[in-house]
Amino acid sequence: MHDDEPAARVLGLRDSEVARALEDQGYVNLGPFLNPEEVRGCVQAFGKAVERLERPIGDAWFPTILLPEDDVRDFLTAELAQRVSPHLGEVFDLTELELIRLDLSVKPPSPASELGPHQDFSLIDERRWRSLYLWIPLVDTDERNGTLHVVPGSHRFTNAIRSQHVPAVFDEVLPQVHESAVRLDCRAGDLVLMVSGVVHFSPPNQTGDVRLAAHGIVKPTEAPLVFYYADDDTPSGKVECYELDLATYVRQIRAGRPSADVPRSALVDRPPSSMTEARFRSGLAQVAAGP
Ligand SMILES: O=C(O)CCC(=O)C(=O)O
């Protein structure tokens, strides 16, 4: 974000105080959202999906949107949508916002299941609009099973342009990230909302059971999806923007440069790829000073 540009507003929330909290702090736990039966249904769907995979799920954290098995991925999204979608209108004005992703965040019981500090990829032009990340744990979560941790307000001073090909890393400030983060202990079925762009992480799952969360993204309906791309052929210091549908976006994460018939919609300045301690500390001070 440039200092001279006003920050994009969070639009489409039914509760304006929730919208202000999201703009200011970048996250909010709205409490109970799915009922116990709906939570059980989502967990059972995961069990069926694993049977269909006929292979071990491994030790590392993964989102099921990246499963290569199209049928299993689609099965899970349909099962989750059946339970989550009927509630979305309680929180969002669905004439303004649309759900563009819904899958499972799977944290197997393993030291390898840690998910380090990161910002999610930006899916829209965050200088104009805000998209929101939904996180709905399907078990009670705490430090032991690797609950979500967030750095309050970090969407206000970190990169607005992020993708597989335009990374934003926090390796230089790991102690500061951990010191400034808030741990979100939740009950199964709670809804946590986060502005896409907030720095977050989840420690390894040290229990004996897999830790599941349904997670998704809503974005303003009018905002096109943007795939940010850069390689050696990109003009120095710039990022290429392509407007794609979600399936193509997910494919391009692996495939890289879009084919020549996809028009480039813009060329924008490339943000710094690694967060420095000075920038992180000054960002935190700006957040502490108020909205
Ligand atoms: O479920 C988790 O542990 C966190 C998931 C997450 O950070 C993500 O999907 O970006």
In the predicted model, is pLDDT for residue 5 greater than 80?
no
CA nearest to 253, candidates 163, 133, 159 = 163
CB-defined site of ligand 1, < 6 Å: 63, 105, 107, 115, 120, 146, 148, 200, 202, 213, 215
157 Cβ contact list (under 8 Å, min separation 6)? 1, 279, 280, 282, 283, 284, 286, 287
Give the bridge partners for 128, in sequence order: none
In the predicted model, is pLDDT for residue 1 greater than 70?
no
Cα-to-centroid distance, 109 and ligand 1 (Å): 15
Residue length, the chain? 291
Residue entry with tokens 């943007």: 226
Cα-to-centroid distance, 140 and ligand 1 (Å): 15
Identify the CATH homologous superfamily for domain 16-288: q2cbj1_9rhob like domain (2.60.120.620)
Residue nearest ligand 1's atom 7 by CA: 201
CA separation for the pair 254, 257 (Å, rounded): 9
Cα-to-centroid distance, 117 and ligand 1 (Å): 10
Domain ranges of the chain: 16-288
In the predicted model, is pLDDT for residue 4 greater than 70?
no
pLDDT of residue 38: 98
CA separation for the pair 269, 123 (Å, rounded): 17
Confidence of residue 2 (pLDDT cuts 50, 70, 90): very low
In the predicted model, is pLDDT for residue 117 greater than 90?
yes
In the predicted model, is pLDDT for residue 213 greater than 80?
yes
Cα-to-centroid distance, 105 and ligand 1 (Å): 6
CA separation for the pair 267, 94 (Å, rounded): 31
Best substitution site from 145, 200, 207, 212 to test ligand 1's pocket, by max atoms within 8 Å of Cβ? 200
Query: Quick one: average pLDDT of 247-264?
Result: 90
